[in-house]
Every structure is written in structure tokens, then in C-alpha cells.
Structure 1
């Protein structure tokens, strides 16, 4: 049974100590948080063995040509990467816009700004590569008032509230996935970017696109194809590349210019997105979220 809510807060009072602890940690300098991440790495890999079966199974199926020694190294590198991502996401609760801009550069920002100048909404498709949670807050710093993101609400009231605060601190705006079409209709023609993490496993085989991805038959959401066709939106693929610990570069590339006609029932954009994600995973295998049960949905279902 849920506890009573603290006035002004949407979660039970007993989450308050956790909230204070996380905020306190977030105010530590990032180099200190990276030292804590070193401890998280050891705990996740050797003590808790966090989803080790899922990680190894995903890696083996995705890289059948690699030796077992290489797979084990990818696994170890993944846990180091994931530990860093955890503390860097937490840092969003306290990081300043100036530090965000210092730590993350956008390589080709003109792909966004040129479309904004033309009064267009840009669909920005990302994946769980690198520190994906830093993409939207960085966009809000570089493009004030023009960085929106689609997200899937969490079931736990505390973590839903906490993550919303983290993701919107620099000025971004979040839209629940179920409200995406309504939001596009209401704000049609508004110059902005609408970010979506489009590599997640769909909940059901309906309204999905199947393709071979990392040697496996894989389902993808098709929302980007439908939105781009209906609203004539340009579409960009967005990747965030780690330059060194705590520093990143966001790289965008155009998948669709917003002018060429699209088949509303086609999947050209989703297929192009899948190829980009596959290419970037193969370039840096450890930087993907291998603990995610990406292939849990089977086509025969």
C-alpha cells in the first residue's frame, strides 16, 4: 500500500532521504563521482553480477565472429562504461548549463539551426549508445526553448519525479510517449527538435518494423516514419560519442530532408536508423546498453 504523499510532492514521504542522498551526491565534482563509479563497476561486475547473463548473451549473439575472450572484454568494458553513465546521469541534478556546454560539443549544430530558421520541427532519433541522457539537456543549452523529448513514464512515482527533474533542469520539455501525436498536432510548424530514443524493444509485435540488426531479427518502433510522413519533418540520427571520461561530442546526420515524399506505411527512416545504430555499436561495442533485454520480442509471437 502506498504511503502518504508529502505535500507538494507526488511520491511517498519515505523516499525523501533517498532524494536528499542523491541530490547530495549530485553536487560532488564529476571527477569524484567517477571515482565512485569505479566502485560501482566492481560491485556490478563481480559482486552483484548485474544482468551478467543478459549482457553476455546479447554480446555473443551480436558478435558471433568474435572470440570468447573478446566477448568477455566487451562485457568488462561495458560495466565500466555503464558505471560512468550512472553517475553522469545523476550529475544532471546539479550540473550548470556552462559546465554542460564545456563537457559536450555539438559537431554539426547547423543541421538543427538551419531547420529551425525555416520554422520546422526536427525529429532527432537517438539510441542507448554513450551517455544518451545527456543529449536532450545539452540540446536545451545550445537551443534554448527548442529541445523537446519523448519519454516513457516510469511506474515508480519517486523515480518518475526525480528523472523528470534531471531531464528538464536545463530547460528541455518532456512529452509522454502516448501524447506524441497530440503534441505534434497542437504544435504543428513550431521550430524545435523532438528527440526520441528509437532503439527500444517494442511492447508488442503490432505496429513494428522487423529487420536484421546485429545478426538478429529485431523489432523497431515505427513512429518516426509515420510522424515524418504526416508532418513533413526532417529527420536526424543523433549519436553521442565519448571523447574522454566525462566529455562527449554529439554528432548528427540527416536521414530525411523533410521535402522528399514518404510512404506513410513505409519504413525507410527506421531502416536507415537501424543501420546507423548498428554501425556505431560495431565501432564501439562497449558503449551500448547491453543489459537491456533488447531482443525479448520475437516475431513468431
Structure 2
């Protein structure tokens, strides 16, 4: 019997996130215990928490899991693991240890399929040279998988969401479009191997290149879309971000999928959230939706140049809009 994992969940991947506006209201005031050793916390919605251990060492902690974004169990595991590891890379860290997080409807989906999910996660962790040991599992009406990851970083060389400065370029290290392609896959069963290849590509090399080039500000592009994550970065940094929408790259088939209506509710909520803070000129509705497309295991958005990756805009002094799309 063939099982389509995406049919066992109400949504898929990072598009299942709680809407950004509601999430911010939910965690408002929950900044944790103040202290000088907490270098990155909850204040701006960074990708991971970072605590200083001593002068040249900091520990990075994060957790990420979601419902199936593809039907293949092994690929689902790989994608979810790469996505979780990305949070460590997004703050300039290196993953050290991870544990599995698994929710599984064991009465409706065979345990053998769950094993394939775990195998996919283990292979990506091995590629990242990150130890993977144990974890936690629960009986869940929907399949869910991810990792809790601990990493290490240099406390003086972090990539922060609030460190953007005017005069610097914006670089995006993966093309957009996995959201609409995954939505088409869920609806039709069509496969998009190039989207899977993108989602299973680790962001480690991009993170190291960004640090080597002197970057100090970055985030990864996941469930809130490029516009949502860029809005958070620019707002936290007290600047305005300008995007040239013609410079943004898209996966093959993404524009057609968006035009055919394979747009998730999460993507539309992203656009609704950022629209009051964004100035749009010279773009279509499809362009706006693709810029807000809820990504799963997307690339890094770096303030600075990263060799081999396209510059899509720049940081400028504060203007009326937090984000400007041209």
C-alpha cells in the first residue's frame, strides 16, 4: 500500500506556523531571565537562542518540527532535519548535538514509515557532522518530525537579526518558491525533485561564507516568507530594507504554480501581516505572493555579500515603510 504523508496533515512544513502577528502577541513579554550572558533571546524573534559560556565560546539552542511537506518519508525526514539545523547556521553557529522530535499516528501509519523519516533525519545530521542521539516521541493524530539542536558559536562573531546597517547589500542564498511547489505536490501528487534538493541543502557553507565576508546580520527564510523575515530583520535593526523583486530568484515552476492558485493560507497571512509596513511598486499580485511564499528549509537572508549568491536589495536609513519592494 502506498501512503501519501501530506494527506495525513492539515498543512505542510513551515506553512503550518502560527501566523506571525498572533505569535508575536502570544510571546510578548516572555523574554526570560535577563542577564548579560544571554546574547540572543526572544526580543526580536531570532532563529535560535545564544548564551555566552566564556570569552570565546557560546552555546546555541533551537528546536523545529512540522507536518509533512512531501509524501516521501525519507525526504520528509531530511527536509525537517535540514530546516532545524538551519536555525543554528542562521546565527553563525555550528551544530554539535541534536535529538529527534517525533509525533506519529501509529494506528494509521506504519511504524516502518516513521523509521524512514528518522533515517532521513539521521543522514542529514551526519552530513552536518552533528551527533544525533535519542529524542522524544508521542502518539499524534498528524505526523510531525524535527530536531532540537545544540550548537556552538563565537560570541564575538554572531549573525544577529538586529544588526543590519544602512549602506549594505541584501543577499539571498536560495531561490524562493518551495511553498507553492509543495502546495501543488500536496494537491496533485506531482513531484518536484529540484525543490526537494533545495530543501535538503544545508545552510552551513552559506553561513560560514557570510561570516568570512564580515557579515553580522542574517536570518533564514522559512514560514513567514522572504517579506516576513525581512520585515522582522529591518524592524529589529531600525532600518528600511529595499528589495529589487526582479533580482529575486525562483525555482523552476514556482511562478506557474502561484499563477495556478497553489498558494497556502500561511502565505496569504504573511502578506496580510507585512502589507501595512511595505511599499509596493512595479509588482503584480503574483509577485507579492511569491515574495511572501511560506518557505520550508529556505536559504539565508544576509546583510552583506555572500560569494556565489545574488544580491537582491540593500539596507537604507529609516523611511516611512519598513520594507520597499521595487
Instruction: Using structure 1 for the length normalisation, give the TM-score.
Output: 0.28
Considering fraction of residues, name the structure with more strand. Answer: 2
Considering fraction of residues, name the structure with more helix. Answer: 1
Instruction: Using structure 2 for the length normalisation, give the TM-score.
Output: 0.26
Structure with larger Rg = 1
